[in-house]
Structure 1
Amino acid sequence: MITAYKYKLRPTQAQAAQIDEWLELLRMQYNYRLAERFNWYEATRCPINACSIVSCSIAPIVEQPDYYWQKRDLLNTKKLFPKYTGIHSQVLQNCIERVKKAFDRYFKVDVSGKRSGKPRFKGRGRYRSFTYPQIKQACIQNNRITLPKIGEVKIIVHRPIPDGFKIKTAQVIKAADGYYVTLTLEDKSVPILKLDLNTEKTVGIDMGLKDFLITSDSKTVPIPQFARKAERDKKKLNKVVSRRKNKASKRRRKAITRLAKHYQKVSRQRQNFHYNTAKELICDYDIIAYEDLNVKGLAKTRMSKSILDAGWSEFLSIVERKAENAGRLTIAVNPYGTSQVCSNVDCGASVPKTLADRWHSCPHCGLELDRDVNAAINIKNIAVGRTGIKAQVMPYAIAGFTEKPALYP
Structure 2
Amino acid sequence: MRTSYQYKLRPTKQQAAQFDKWLDMLRCQYNYLLADRFRWYEENRCSINSCSLVVCHLPELRNNPSYNSQQDSLPQLKKDRPWYKELHSQVLQNAAKRVELAFDRFLKGDCNGKRSGKPRFKGANQYKTFTYPTVKSDCIDKGLITLPKFGKVKLIQHRTIPDSFKIKTCSVTKKADGYYVTLSLEDKTVPTIKPDFDSDSIAGIDVGLKEFLTTSDNEVVTIGQYYRKAQKRLRVIQKQVSRRKNGSIGRQKAIKKLATQHKKVANKRKDFHFKTANNLLKKYDVIAVEDLNVKGLARTRLAKSILDAGWSSFLSILTNKAENAGLLVIQVIASGTSQDCSSCGVKVPKKLHERWHRCSNCGCSLDRDHNAAINIKNRAVGHSVLKAKSLLSDSRIVLEAYTEPLRSV
Q: Provide the aligned length of Structure 1 versus Structure 2.
A: 383
CA distance in 2, matches of 1:57, 1:243: 55
Could you report, residue by residue, the CA deviation over 1:308-347 in whole angstroms, capped at 9, with x for unpaired residues? 1101111111111111222222111111111111111xx2
Give 1:2 shift.
2.1
Q: Which amino acid aligns with 1:382?
A: R
Aligned equivalents of 2:176, 2:144: Cα separation in 1: 22
**1:9/1:93 Cα in 2 relative to 1: closer, same or farther (>3 Å)?**
same
2:377 equivalent among 377, 380, 386? 380
Answering whether residue 262 of structure 2 is matched by residue 263 of structure 1, we say yes
Question: Within the alignment, does 1:152 sit opposite 2:152 as a pair?
Answer: yes
Distance 1:333 1:306 in 2: 23
What's the counterpart of residue 190 of structure 2? 190
- Alignment of 1:331 onto 2:330: yes
Equivalent position to 2:348, from 348, 351, 363: 351
Shift of 1:238: 1.0
Partner of 1:402: none
Following superposition, which runs of at least 4 residues in structure 1 exceed 6 angstroms of deviation? none
Distance 1:91 1:49, change over 3 A: closer
Matches of 2:294 and 2:313, distance apart in 1: 10
Q: Which amino acid aligns with 1:105?
A: R
Following the alignment from structure 2 to structure 1, what is the Cα–Cα distance between the partners of residues 129 and 317?
Answer: 23
Q: State the alpha-carbon separation in 2 of the partners of residues 309 and 50 from structure 1.
A: 55
User: What is the match of residue 370 of structure 1?
Assistant: 367
Question: 3-state DSSP class of the match of 1:331?
Answer: strand
Aligned with 1:146: secondary structure?
strand
Q: 1:349: Cα distance to partner?
A: 1.5
2: CA distance between counterparts of 1:117 and 1:313?
20
Offset at 1:207?
0.9
Within a 5 Å distance, the mapping from 1:190-339 to structure 2 comes to 190-194=190-194, 196-247=196-247, 249-339=248-338
Deviation (angstroms), 1:59: 5.3
Q: Deviations over 1:352-396 (max 9, x none)?
A: 111111111111111111111111111111111425999xxxxxx
- What is the distance in 2 between the residues matched to 1:277 and 1:389? 23
What SS does the corresponding residue of 2:168 show, helix, strand or coil? strand
Q: Which moved more, 1:63-72 or 1:271-280?
A: 63-72
Instruction: Return the offset for 1:50.
Output: 4.9
- Normalising by the residue count of structure 2, what TM-score does the alignment of the two structures yield? 0.89
Q: For 2:50 and 2:250, how far apart are their aligned partners in 1?
A: 55
CA contact (8 A) 1:5 1:185 kept: yes
Q: Distance in 1 between matches of 2:57 and 2:5?
A: 49
Q: CA RMSD in A?
A: 1.9
Determine the C-alpha separation between the residues in 2 that align with 1:48 and 1:60: 11
1:195, distance to aligned residue in structure 2 (A): 6.4
For residues 34-72 of structure 1, give each alpha carbon's deviation from its aligned partner in whole angstroms, at most 9, with x where no partner exists: 010011011001132457xxxx99654443221111111
* Matched residue, 2:393: none
Q: Which amino acid aligns with 1:8?
A: K
Any conservation in 1 of the 2:193–2:327 contact (CA below 8 Å)?
A: no
Structure 2 CA distance for aligned equivalents of residues 323 and 358 of structure 1: 30
Q: Secondary structure at the match of 1:230?
A: helix
What is the alpha-carbon distance in structure 1 between the residues aligned to residue 346 and residue 108 of structure 2?
43
Q: Which moved more, 1:211-220 or 1:106-115?
A: 106-115
* Unaligned stretches of 5+ residues in structure 2: 388-409
Residues in 1 aligned to 2:269 and 2:82: alpha-carbon distance in whole angstroms = 44
Residue 179 of structure 1 aligns to a residue whose secondary structure is strand
- Shift of residue 194 of structure 1? 4.7
Distance 2:315 2:208 in 1: 13
Q: Distance in 2 between matches of 1:120 and 1:384?
A: 45
User: 2:28 aligns to what?
Assistant: 28
State the partner residue of 1:99.
Answer: 99
What code does the residue aligned with 2:204 have? G
- 1:395 match: none
Q: Over residues 163-215 of structure 1, what are the superposed CA-to-partner deviations in whole Å (9 max), with x where a residue is unaligned?
A: 12222221111111111111122223333325644344211111110000011
After superposition, residues 105-124 of structure 1 pair within 5 angstroms as 105-124=105-124
Aligned equivalents of 1:301, 1:109: Cα separation in 2: 25
Instruction: Give the TM-score taking structure 1 as reference length.
Output: 0.89
- 1:35 alignment partner AA: A
Output the CA distance in 2 between the equivalents of 1:388 and 1:49. Answer: 52
Q: Distance in 1 between matches of 2:57 and 2:298?
A: 41
- The residue identity in structure 1 corresponding to 2:315 is L
CA–CA separation in structure 2 for the residues paired with 1:350 and 1:138: 60
* Residues 195 and 329 in structure 1, CA contact (< 8 A), matched pair in contact too: no
For residue 89 of structure 1, report the CA deviation from its aligned partner: 0.9
Give the C-alpha shift of residue 260 in structure 1.
0.7
Q: Take 1:301 and 1:376, find their aligned partners in 2: how far apart are those partners? A: 23
